[in-house]
Structure 1
Amino acid sequence: MSLFALGLNHHTAPLAIREQVAFQPERLVQALVELVRTAPVREAAIVSTCNRTELYCSTDSPEAAADWLAQHHRLPLRDIAPYLYTYPQHDAVRHIFRVASGLDSMVLGEPQILGQLKEAARLAESAGTLGSLLHKLFQHSFAVAKEVRSTTAIGANIVSMAAAGVHLSERIFESMGDTRVLFIGAGEMIALCAAHFAGTHPAYMSVANRTRERGEALASRIGADVLPLEAIGDVLHRYDVVVSCTASPLPIIGRGVAERAIRARRRRPMVMVDLAVPRDIEAEVGDLPDVFLYTVDDLAQIVSAGMESRQAAVEDAEGIIDTSVTGFFQWLERRDAVPTIRALREHGEAIRQQEVARALRMLSRGEDPQAVLAALSSGLTNKLLHEPTQFLARAHGDQVLRAADTIQQIFDLAPDADETAGPDKT
C-alpha cells in the first residue's frame, strides 16, 4: 500500500496560483478517469475548493501525479512545484484527518470543508476511482471530524467578522426570518456578510453600491434587490439590519439620517454594522435610542474571543487525530493479513473435506462408527498440526526459540513448567 496526498493550499500558494490548478466541479469525474488511465495511479480522489487543490492517491509514483496535475492544467511543472506538498503514508492520513476536522482551514474549525470532502468521495466513487483504501480513508476522516466536533470546542465559537455580524443581530431580533437587511457596498467583506445573513433566510435583502453592476452581481447571488447609493436616506427606515463596508472617505449615514429613520420606525430597534475604515456610519449614531451600532473593533473582540477558545481546543483535537491515525494503520495491517487468513482457512477446509470423505468411505464399508470417528479426529489433528510441527523441526540454532515462541503465541500455549524450570537449589 502506497498512499499519498499531493497538492497546494492557502498556506503554501497565493490565490493567483491556486486558481490556476482549481478543477471545475462538472469536469472532476472526467479528470479522475484521466488521472487513473494515464498515470500509474490505482485509486484517486480530488478535493478542489477556493483554498486548496489536493489529490489523494494510491500510487507508487507521486511524481507522476504531480506531472499529471501540471499537464492537465497546461502549466509547466516548474511554475507550481514550489507551492506543492507531498505527504506519504502516515503524513497523508494525518493531513486529511486535520483537513476534515477544520484544523487546516483558513478559518479554524469551519465546517464547510467536511461537506467538500464528502462531495470529493462521491465524485471519485462515480468515476470508479474510489477503491477500498480511499473509501476507508474518507469514511475514517468523516468519523474523526464528527468526534472532534462533538467532543471539543473547535467549532463552538464565532471566528469571522461576517458570522459575528449575524450573531449580534440575532441577539436583538427574535427571528431573523422576519427582518429586512440592507448591505451597503459590494466588496469582499460585504459579500461574506451577505452570504452569512442569507443563510438565516431574512424576509428581504437589498444591496446599495456606488457601481450598479457590482451591486447587481452580488444581489443576484443572494436573491436581493438593488438600490442606488443615493436612495439610502429615503429608505433606511425600512430595514432592521444595515451592514456597511465601502471605501468612501466620508460617512454615508449621518446622525440626522439615522434619526429620521428611527422616528419613521416608531422606535423599533435597528442594528447597524459598520465594517469600514474610515467609518461609513457616524459614531454619534450609536448614541441614538434603539440603534445598536457595532464597529469593526466590536466585531474583532468577538472574533478574538472565539479564536482563543478554538485554539484551546486544537490540542484536544490533535490528540483525537493521533489516536485515529494509529487506528487507521492498524486496520491496514489487518487488511494485509486477509490473504493469509483466507489461504489458511482454505487449507483447513481442504483437509476437513479429505478426512470427511475418508470417513464416509469407511462407513460405507461397514466399519465401526466409533472407529471411524476416532480415525476422523486423529486424521484432522495430525494433518492440521503437521505444518507447525515441521516448522519447529526445521528450526535450528537461535531459530528454535523464536519458532517455539511463535507456535506458543499462535496456539496460546503455556510452556511446560517442568521443562523450563531451573535446577533445584534447595
Structure 2
Amino acid sequence: MSVWALGINHTTAPLDLRGRFAFALDQIEPTLKGLRSSLARQPEATLLSTCNRTEIYCAGDRSDLGHTIEWLAQHGGVSPALLRSHAYTLENDHAARHAFRVASGLDSMVLGEPQILGQMKDAVRAAEDAGAMGTTLHQLFQRSFAVAKEVRTSTEIGAHSISLAAASVRLAGQLFEDLSDIKVLFVGAGEMIDLAATHFAAKNPKAMTVANRTLERGEKLAGRFGAEVMRLADLPSRLHEFDAVISCTASTLPIIGLGAVERAVKLRKHRPMFMVDLAVPRDIEPEVKDLPDIYLYTVDDLAHVVQTGKDNRQAAVAQAEVIIDAGVQNFMHWLDQRRSVPLIQQLNAQTDEWRALEIARAKKLLAKGESVDDVLEALSRGLTQKMLHGALAELHAGNAENREATAQTVSRLFLRGNLPKEQKER
C-alpha cells in the first residue's frame, strides 16, 4: 500500500493550463467515480481543485500513477507529455508532507491563507460521498487538519498575510484616487467574491452590485452589504456603469468577452476600468488586457502583491515545518503498522478456525460422556499442537543457518520471559 499524489499548482503550471484541470465542487464526485472505474484496483482517491492547484491523492498501487496521468491529460484535452512537464508526483512521506503543508497554508500563493483548509475539507466530503475514501486517506487528511490547526494556534503563520481579495482592493487604490467615488461590480456569489465584497465594502464605495446566474443567491450576498443585485444576462448592457469589476465564477468558459468590454470602454468615454479575474478557468477573455484604459489582473498577476509581509512570516514557517515533520513521522509510523494488518487478519482467521475445530471436538466428547477434565485437557493440547506445529516443523527443516535464524525467531515469539542471556543481548 502506497500513498501518492499527482498535481499541478501555481508554481508549476500557467493559469490557462490550470484552467483545463479546474473542477467545481459538484464535479468532484462524478470525476472521482470516473477515475476509479478506469483503474482495475479501485484505489482510495481524493481530488482537490482550487484556483491555484489541482491535486489527486490516492492510496493504492503506485503503478496506477501512470494511468492516472494519462486519464487526467485526456480529461483536460492535453498530451500526457505536456501534463508531465508541469506536474509533480509525490509518494508516501513526501506525499504526506505535501498534504500537511497545503492544509497549513505553506504551499499557497498567499502564505498562511486559511481558505485552503476549508477547501480541503470540502474535497474530503466529496470523496466520501463518492465512496472513494478509505482508512488510509481518512487518516492522512484527518492528520492534515490536526497539523494545520496546531500550526495556526502555535505559530504566527497567518500574521501579516494579504489575501487575493485584499490585494484587489490595494491595486484598485493605486488606480483610483478615492475608492469611495467608484462603483464596483462583483460577478459571482461564492466564497472568493464574498471576501472581495467584504474588503471593498470597508472602503465605502459609491455603489456595489452583485451579478449572479442564480438571482436568489446573488440577493443573499448583496443583502449583507446593502448592494444591488442583477442578473448575469444583463451584464453586457450594464458593464459600462462600473469602475471596478471583480469576477469569480465556476463557469468553464469566459463570461465577459472582448466585445462587451470594448463597448463599455466607448460608453465610458475612456474613463479607466479596473478588472480582476479571480476565476480558474478565466471569467474574462485574456485579450481584454490589451484594450486601452483597461487594467485587468488575474490570480497570477496578484502574486507579487500578496508577497508583502512574507519575510515577516519566515520564522513562523520554520516553526510550522517542525510541527509538520512530527506529523509526517507519526503518519508514516501508522502506515507502516497498517502493512501488517493483512497478516494479522490471516493469523486471527487461522486461530479462529483452530479454536472452532477444537470446541466442536470437545462438545462431541462431552456428549459421549467424557469427563470435563479430560475434555479440557484434550482441547488445550489440540490448540497448542496446532499453534506450534508450523514452528516445530521449521526448526527441523532446512540447513543449520536457517534453523538458527528460526530458533531465534521462535524464541522471541514464544519464550519472551525465558530467553537465554546471549539472545536477550542481541
Q: Please indicate the TM-score interval, normalised by the length of the shorter structure.
A: 0.5 to 0.7
Residue 197 of structure 1: CA displacement? 6.9
Residue 46 of structure 1: CA displacement? 1.5
Equivalent position SS for 1:19: helix
Gaps of 5+ in 1: 167-180, 210-214, 231-246, 250-299, 422-426
Q: Do the aligned residues in 1 keep the contact of 2:44 with 2:137 (CA within 8 Å)?
A: yes
Please point out which of 390, 395, 398 is paired with 2:393: 390
Please point out which of 116, 121, 125 is paired with 1:118: 121
Equivalent position SS for 2:133: coil
Equivalent position SS for 2:70: helix
Equivalent position SS for 2:205: strand
What are the superposed Cα offsets for residues 6-60 of structure 1, whole Å, 9 maximum, x if unpaired? Answer: 1210111222222222123333322222222234553322111111111223452
Residue 205 of structure 1: CA displacement? 5.0
Residue 193 of structure 1: CA displacement? 11
Could you tell me how far apart the structure 2 residues matched to 1:420 and 1:7 are?
Answer: 49
Residues 418, 311 of structure 1: alpha-carbon distance in 2 compared, 3 angstrom cutoff = closer
Letter in 2 for 1:44: A
- In structure 2, what is the equivalent of residue 49 of structure 1? 50
Which sits farther off after the overlay, 54-63 or 412-421?
Answer: 412-421
Give the structure-1-normalised TM-score.
0.65
Could you tell me how far apart the structure 2 residues matched to 1:353 and 1:6 are?
Answer: 47
What are the superposed Cα offsets for residues 92-148 of structure 1, whole Å, 9 maximum, x if unpaired? Answer: 222111111111001111111111111111112222322333333222222222222
Could you tell me how far apart the structure 2 residues matched to 1:164 and 1:84 are?
Answer: 28
Q: Do the aligned residues in 2 keep the contact of 1:109 with 1:154 (CA within 8 Å)?
A: yes
Residues 163, 358 of structure 1: alpha-carbon distance in 2 compared, 3 angstrom cutoff = same
Residues 309, 183 of structure 1: alpha-carbon distance in 2 compared, 3 angstrom cutoff = farther
CA RMSD, 1 decimal:
4.0
- In structure 1, what is the equivalent of residue 130 of structure 2? 127
- In structure 2, what is the equivalent of residue 296 of structure 1? none
Please point out which of 322, 330, 343 is paired with 1:319: 322
Gaps of 5+ in 2: 170-178, 213-217, 230-239, 244-269, 273-304
Is 2:151 aligned against 1:154? no
Letter in 2 for 1:35: L
Q: Do the aligned residues in 1 keep the contact of 2:156 with 2:316 (CA within 8 Å)?
A: yes
Residue 338 of structure 1: CA displacement? 1.9
- In structure 2, what is the equivalent of residue 83 of structure 1? 86
Residues 207, 393 of structure 1: alpha-carbon distance in 2 compared, 3 angstrom cutoff = farther
What are the superposed Cα offsets for residues 321-354 of structure 1, whole Å, 9 maximum, x if unpaired? Answer: 2222222232223222222212212222222233
- In structure 2, what is the equivalent of residue 170 of structure 1? none
What are the superposed Cα offsets for residues 57-78 of structure 1, whole Å, 9 maximum, x if unpaired? Answer: 3452322212222211222334
- In structure 2, what is the equivalent of residue 349 of structure 1? 352
- In structure 1, what is the equivalent of residue 302 of structure 2? none
Q: Do the aligned residues in 1 keep the contact of 2:5 with 2:57 (CA within 8 Å)?
A: yes
Could you tell me how far apart the structure 2 residues matched to 1:323 and 1:393 are?
Answer: 45
Q: Which has the larger radius of gyration?
A: 1
Is 2:378 aligned against 1:378? no
Give the structure-2-normalised TM-score.
0.65
Residues 75, 193 of structure 1: alpha-carbon distance in 2 compared, 3 angstrom cutoff = closer
Could you tell me how far apart the structure 2 residues matched to 1:116 and 1:393 are?
Answer: 60
Q: Do the aligned residues in 2 keep the contact of 1:152 with 1:316 (CA within 8 Å)?
A: yes
Residues 368, 4 of structure 1: alpha-carbon distance in 2 compared, 3 angstrom cutoff = closer
Residue 163 of structure 1: CA displacement? 5.4
Please point out which of 405, 413, 416 is paired with 1:413: 416
The structure showing larger relative contact order (alpha-carbon pairs under 8 Å, at least 6 residues apart) is: 2
In the TM superposition, 1:273-312 aligns within 5 A as 307-312=310-315
Corresponding pairs, count:
331
Residues 92, 80 of structure 1: alpha-carbon distance in 2 compared, 3 angstrom cutoff = same
What are the superposed Cα offsets for residues 355-412 of structure 1, whole Å, 9 maximum, x if unpaired? Answer: 3333333333333333333333233223222222223232533223322222233235
Q: Do the aligned residues in 2 keep the contact of 1:153 with 1:309 (CA within 8 Å)?
A: no
Q: Do the aligned residues in 2 keep the contact of 1:39 with 1:68 (CA within 8 Å)?
A: no
Could you tell me how far apart the structure 1 residues matched to 2:317 and 2:55 are?
Answer: 23
What are the superposed Cα offsets for residues 189-231 of structure 1, whole Å, 9 maximum, x if unpaired? Answer: xx9998547448979953569xxxxx7769x79633599799x
Residues 148, 389 of structure 1: alpha-carbon distance in 2 compared, 3 angstrom cutoff = farther
Residues 400, 196 of structure 1: alpha-carbon distance in 2 compared, 3 angstrom cutoff = same
Q: Do the aligned residues in 2 keep the contact of 1:392 with 1:404 (CA within 8 Å)?
A: yes
